[in-house]
Chains A and B, each alone.
Chain A
Amino acid sequence: MAGRFDEILQAVVRDAGAEGAVLVSPDGLAIASVLPEGIDEDRVAAMGAAILSLGERVTTELSKGTLEQLYVKGSKGYMIFTGIGDLAVLGILAPSNAKLGLLLMEIKRAAKQIEESLS
Chain B
Amino acid sequence: MDIEAKLRELVDKLFINTGATFSGIFIDEKTTVLKTVYTEKKEKLEEILKLIIYKAHQINEFIEDFGEEYVYAEGDDISIFIYFVRPDIAVASIIEEKPKFALLKLEHTTIAKKIKEIESEIDQFIKGEIPKQDKKEEKEDSLEDVELENLEEVIPELKEEPSLEIDEGKTEITVEDIRDRYAEEMQQLEEAEDIEELEKVLSENQEPSLEEILKSQEEIKETEGSEEKTEEKTEEKKERDEITETIVEKQTEEELYDPEVLEQIQKELLKEIGPVGKFLFRKRKKELNIQEDKLTRTALVMLIEKLSDDIIDEKRKQRFLEKVSAFV
**Interfacial residues, chain A to chain B (CB-CB below 8 A):** 39-40, 43-44, 47, 50-52, 54-55, 57-59, 61-62, 64-77, 79, 93
Pairs across A and B, CB under 8 Å, 28 listed: A39-B62, A44-B62, A50-B55, A51-B52, A51-B55, A51-B71, A52-B73, A55-B73, A57-B48, A58-B45, A58-B49, A58-B94, A59-B78, A61-B48, A64-B76, A65-B78, A66-B75, A66-B76, A68-B75, A70-B74, A70-B80, A71-B73, A72-B70, A73-B68, A76-B65, A76-B66, A77-B66, A79-B63
Task: Answer whether residue B295 sits at the interface, using C-beta atoms and an 8 A cutoff.
Answer: no
- Nearest B-chain residue to A67, judged by Cβ: B75
Count CB-based A-B contacts (< 8 Å): 100
Q: In the complex, A75→B74 CA distance in Å? A: 21
Contact A74 B58 (CB under 8 A): no
**Interfacial residues, chain B to chain A (CB-CB below 8 A):** 21, 38, 41, 44-45, 48-49, 51-52, 55-56, 58-59, 61-63, 65-78, 80, 94, 96
> Which residues of chain B come closer than 8 Å to A59, judged between CB atoms?
75, 78
Q: Given A65-B75, A67-B73, decide whether A75 and B80 contact each other with a Cβ distance below 8 A.
A: no
Contact B66 A74 (CB under 8 A): yes
Secondary structure class of chain B's binding surface, majority of residues: mixed
> Which residues of chain B come closer than 8 Å to A71, judged between CB atoms?
71-73
- Nearest A-chain residue to B70, judged by Cβ: A73
Contact B58 A47 (CB under 8 A): yes
Q: Given A58-B45, A58-B48, decide whether A76 and B74 contact each other with a Cβ distance below 8 A.
A: no
Q: Quick one: which of A43, A50, A51, A54 contacts B62, CB cutoff 8 A? A: A43
Q: Given A72-B59, A74-B66, A79-B59, decide whether A61 and B44 contact each other with a Cβ distance below 8 A.
A: yes
Contact B72 A70 (CB under 8 A): yes
Q: Quick one: which of B58, B61, B65, B80 contacts A55, CB cutoff 8 A? A: B80
Contact A64 B77 (CB under 8 A): yes
Q: In the complex, A70→B71 CA distance in Å? A: 7
